[in-house]
């Protein structure tokens, strides 16, 4: 009797270990070896998604057209698994927030292709996963947040004025999933807490009401997010934040939770020096870990601490570029037409505008002055330099196209074509040094 008990204990332990064997590092390796998304997410159009989905369909993944956008573009739902626990994910309801769409495509591909692996079998038999990648194809094709009607779909959960919002609600109501994943991108200059670290990924376990009523699903989601944090933190220590926790009565995450589908919000930011594909991989590992923990039940043994301990996101602390202590000549013209030069000394802060990766992104001067409480992703020591605007005066709101002159030079700042008449020592253009790289020292 005892032997029999011991034997079954060993078997249970073994199968639990096997199911739990899919570590974050193994998920990373699988993504590296097998991912099919070969276009950087911000360059992906609806037609590219259709090609990805054709590949999924060809491999046997269930892909169905479930609706149409305002301009009649197909919206698809992808499905995997036959288990009782219903998991629903949707991405890119904001058209210019694309990272998770690629991660979802890769995830379904990998699940389908690895059906012989224990961890995938467990997912397949425990979960039914449905995902809508790119809920807003019109916005995605224009690389804008809103839909073709100019509506923010994520503020349309109650009014349901957009076909995309109506579809999303209908898909939820018809199926009543047990858990939702709402997948977005956030500003690249969001900091993880009061630090100079970008929040490359942010999480929020979304409440269903302003009173922050918790329930079983909400508590489970805190554990799941903790599992996801532990999975990706080693790849980007200190770069995970908690999204601001304010109930938005008209948003989908909040209403999914209210309607009975406790929802997790994942916001992908950016990590300076890493390509977008790195963040696809992080999404893949995070969501893959959540599915695995749900399927094998290991989430029940995870403490919610990693989620509870996340630093809140902070905005306004980071800028793309800061040039410290530059001297800015300003040409003044009096009423009688006399020119005089004034000099001001300060830090110049410029941010890169968001564009698809395939387009050069302009930088715009956003602050000039004492920026000692702000960090730049790239910082330069401009104390030995004059800085002037290349095409426009150097001031807030103008392009961050900047000419740098060593301060021992004699320059006629009022010269008609300054760049031609007095070739600068360094030129910063479209976020790069196009002349004199290294002349202005990096801090």
Provide, rounded to whole angstroms, the least separation between the CB of residue 185 and Zn ion.
6
Return the residues of window 147-186 that contact Zn ion according to CB under 5 A.
Answer: 184
Residue 293 makes CB contacts below 8 A (sequence gap 6+) with 223, 224, 227, 299, 302
Cβ nearer to Zn ion, comparing 184 with 366: 184
CB of 183 to Zn ion, least distance (A): 9
Per-residue mark of binding to Zn ion, 76-105 (x: CB under 5 A) = ------------------x--x--------
Cβ 94 to Zn ion shortest distance, Å: 4
Q: Are 132 and 90 in contact (CB under 8 A)?
A: yes
Shortest distance, position 60 Cβ to Zn ion, whole Å: 32
* Closest CB 154 distance from Zn ion, rounded Å: 6
DSSP state at residue 198? B
Which residue lies nearer to Zn ion by CB, 135 or 285? 135
Do the Cβ atoms of 287 and 89 come closer than 8 Å? yes
User: What's the CA gap between 308 and 203, in Å, rounded?
Assistant: 11
What character string, x for contact with Zn ion (CB under 5 A) and - otherwise, covers 346-365?
A: --------------------
Side-chain half-sphere exposure of 102, counting CA atoms within 13 A: 28
Q: Which is nearer to Zn ion, 69 or 363 (CB)?
A: 69
Beta strands in 353-430 (DSSP E): 363-369, 375-381, 385-389, 402-406, 426-429
122 in contact with Zn ion (CB under 5 A): no
| Number of residues forming the site for Zn ion (CB under 5 A) | 3
User: Which residues within the stretch 323-342 sit at the binding site for Zn ion (CB under 5 A)?
Assistant: none
Nearer to Zn ion, 48 or 267 (CB): 267
Annotate each residue in 179-218 with x if it binds Zn ion (CB under 5 A) or - if it does not, as one string.
Answer: -----x----------------------------------
- From the CB of 374, what's the least distance to Zn ion, in Å? 24
Q: Which is nearer to Zn ion, 46 or 94 (CB)?
A: 94
Residue 69 CB partners (closer than 8 Å, separation 6+): 75, 136, 137, 138, 147, 148, 163, 164
Which of residues 161 and 339 has its CB atom nearest to Zn ion in the complex? Answer: 161
Provide the CB-side half-sphere exposure for 383 (13 A, CA): 3
Burial letters for 38-67: b for 16+ Cβ neighbours within 10 Å, e otherwise? ebbbbebbbebbbebbebbeeeebebeebb
Binding site for Zn ion (CB under 5 A): 94, 97, 184
């Amino acid at each position: 009797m005892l032997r029999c008990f011991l034997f079954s204990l060993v078997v249970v332990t073994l199968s639990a270990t096997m199911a739990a064997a899919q570590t974050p590092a193994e998920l990373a390796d699988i993504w590296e070896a097998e991912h099919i998304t070969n276009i950087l997410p911000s360059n992906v159009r609806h037609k590219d998604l259709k090609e990805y989905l054709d590949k999924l369909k060809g491999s046997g993944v269930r892909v169905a057209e479930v609706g149409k956008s305002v301009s009649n573009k197909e919206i698809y739902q992808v499905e995997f698994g036959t288990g009782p626990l219903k998991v629903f994910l949707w991405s890119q309801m904001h058209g210019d927030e694309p990272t998770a769409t690629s991660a979802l495509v890769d995830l379904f591909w990998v699940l389908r292709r690895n059906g012989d692996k224990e961890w995938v079998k467990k997912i397949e038999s425990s979960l039914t996963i449905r995902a809508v990648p790119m809920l807003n194809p019109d916005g995605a094709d224009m690389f804008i947040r809103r839909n073709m009607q100019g509506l923010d779909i994520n503020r349309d959960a109650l009014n349901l004025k957009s076909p995309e919002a109506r579809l999303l609600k209908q898909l939820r109501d018809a199926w009543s999933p047990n858990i939702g994943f709402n997948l977005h991108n956030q500003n690249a200059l969001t900091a993880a807490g009061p630090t100079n670290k970008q929040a490359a990924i942010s999480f929020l376990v979304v409440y269903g009401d302003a009173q922050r009523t918790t329930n079983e699903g909400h508590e489970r989601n805190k554990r799941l997010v903790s599992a996801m944090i532990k999975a990706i933190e080693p790849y980007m220590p200190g770069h995970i934040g908690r999204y601001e926790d304010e109930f938005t009565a008209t948003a989908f995450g909040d209403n999914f939770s209210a309607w009975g589908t406790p929802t997790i919000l994942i916001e992908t930011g950016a990590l300076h020096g890493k390509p977008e594909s790195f963040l696809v991989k992080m999404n893949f590992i995070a969501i893959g870990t959540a599915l695995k923990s749900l399927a094998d039940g290991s989430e029940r043994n995870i403490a919610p601490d990693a989620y509870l301990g996340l630093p809140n996101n902070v905005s306004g602390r980071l800028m793309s570029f800061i040039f410290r202590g530059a001297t800015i000549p300003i040409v003044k013209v009096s009423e009688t037409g006399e020119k005089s030069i004034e000099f001001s000394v300060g830090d110049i802060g410029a941010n890169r505008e968001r564009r698809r990766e395939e387009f050069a992104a302009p930088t715009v001067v956003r602050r000039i002055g004492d920026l000692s409480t702000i960090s730049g992703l790239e910082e330069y020591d401009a104390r030995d330099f004059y800085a002037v605007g290349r095409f426009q005066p150097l001031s807030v709101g103008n392009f961050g196209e900047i000419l740098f002159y060593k301060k021992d030079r004699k320059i006629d700042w009022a010269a008609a074509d300054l760049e031609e008449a007095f070739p600068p020592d360094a030129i910063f253009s479209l976020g790069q040094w196009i002349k004199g790289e290294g002349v202005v020292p990096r801090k």
